[in-house]
Amino acid sequence: MKAVVKTNFSFPKQKSLYVGKVRDVYNIDDKYMAMVVSDRISAFDVVLPKGIPYKGQVLNQIAAKFLDATADIVPNWKLATPDPMVTVGLKCEGFRVEMIVRGYLAGSAWREYKAGARTLCGVPLPEGMVENQKFPTPILTPTTKADEGHDENISREEIIRTGLVDKEDYEQLEKYALALFQRGTEIAASKGLILVDTKYEFGKRDGKIYLIDEIHTPDSSRYFYAEGYEERLAKGEHQRQLSKEFVREWLMANGFQGKEGQQVPEMTEEIVNSITDRYIELYEHIIGEKFQKAEDCSDVAARIEKNVTEYLKTL
């Protein structure tokens, strides 16, 4: 299968197209969104030059399953997945913050802690912690939602004070985010995994808050294998991860961290195929079932257009 790195459909009643780092979002009649999860891959806020076959299907299907598995906690935007790479749902007005929940001291939080920080987004951090250690309770470290460039850390006080989100809504977002993280933690544990940290996005429609975008995918979340976690922690060893971290590690090992003047290393066919294999492995561990590659891959764009157009006629 060829990777789908660009789409440019004309769906019935289409108003506009927003192209993100990975997702192409089609506004249908200002009422619905058709989100095509492409095979583009980004790291360090840079879209890499080659796509990863089946990555879009992996992410779309993981998100769809988790949206269904959490619909009792918070209403979500999803209506249907008419194609393996597409979710169609309700158009919501997105909040200008992303809700990041951390259960463990890892990633950028660890890098800041190691550099001496003892508060993160206004949340105090305990002294004496080590990398990948579990927090006493999960913490919320929101970021601003940037249209371009990097998202910025921000505290709940600042969000409320500046009116980025009003107090009542923000407190509800906190409750939803922590409840979703708890559910995600329980599902991960049943698969022998630890949900380390993740991000949630929310929007509003007709005065009601909805969970939008993706949820609990390896692009938005970090997972550790539960087996061996304590031993590795005690020895100060790296944890076995299920996340996009392996792509970042390959880039860093080849001298790329998204900084000015740095070149993306050559993405050989071997590298691209190995990333596809890792994403399929991620799917099978997180979902707990065999990944079924989508059929009819001779012209994926034509398949998507046909499937989505037919579904939109039913709305």
Tell me the residue length of the chain: 315
The answer to whether residue 297 scores a pLDDT higher than 80 is: no
Distance CA 300, CA 1 (A): 8
User: CA dist 104 to 108, 195, 229, 255, Å?
Assistant: 11, 9, 12, 27
Q: What is the mean pLDDT of residues 78-103?
A: 97
pLDDT at 151: 78
pLDDT level of residue 149 (50, 70, 90 thresholds): low
Distance CA 107, CA 127 (A): 17
Q: What is the mean pLDDT of residues 92-98?
A: 96
Helices (H), the chain: 55-69, 107-114, 156-161, 167-190, 229-235, 245-253, 269-287, 300-312
The answer to whether residue 147 scores a pLDDT higher than 80 is: no
User: CA dist 177 to 70, 98, 141, Å?
Assistant: 11, 10, 11
pLDDT tens, residue by residue, 45-57:
899 999 999 999 9
pLDDT tens, residue by residue, 98-117:
999 999 999 999 999 999 99
pLDDT at 150: 67
pLDDT at 148: 61
pLDDT level of residue 82 (50, 70, 90 thresholds): very high
pLDDT at 37: 97
pLDDT level of residue 248 (50, 70, 90 thresholds): confident
Distance CA 283, CA 66 (A): 12
pLDDT tens, residue by residue, 178-188:
999 999 999 99
Q: What is the mean pLDDT of residues 139-145?
A: 95
* Cβ–Cβ under 8 Å, residues 74 and 211: yes
The answer to whether residue 192 scores a pLDDT higher than 80 is: yes
pLDDT at 296: 72
pLDDT level of residue 250 (50, 70, 90 thresholds): very high
Element (H, E) at 127: none
Residue 76: DSSP 8-state: B
pLDDT tens, residue by residue, 193-227:
999 999 999 999 999 999 999 999 988 999 999 99
Q: What is the mean pLDDT of residues 62-73?
A: 98
Of 34, 59, 58, 41, the closest CA to residue 5 belongs to 41
Element (H, E) at 144: strand 143-144
Q: Which residues pair with 102 in a beta bridge?
A: 139, 197
The answer to whether residue 76 scores a pLDDT higher than 90 is: yes
Q: What is the mean pLDDT of residues 148-152?
A: 71
pLDDT at 48: 95
* Cβ–Cβ under 8 Å, residues 211 and 67: yes
Q: Is the pTM of this model over 0.85?
A: yes
- Which domains, ranges and CATH numbers included, belong to the chain? 94-242 (3.30.470.20)
Distance CA 23, CA 37 (A): 5
Give the phi and the psi of residue 218 in degrees, each rounded to 5: -70, -10
Question: Which residues 6+ apart lie within 8 Å of 259 measured at CB?
Answer: none
User: CA dist 239 to 104, 159, 173, 231, 236, Å?
Assistant: 12, 33, 30, 10, 9
Query: Where does residue 36 rank: exposed (0-12), middle (13-18), buried (19+ CB within 10 A)?
Result: buried
Between 269-287 and 245-253, two packed helices, what is the crossing angle to 10 degrees?
A: 150
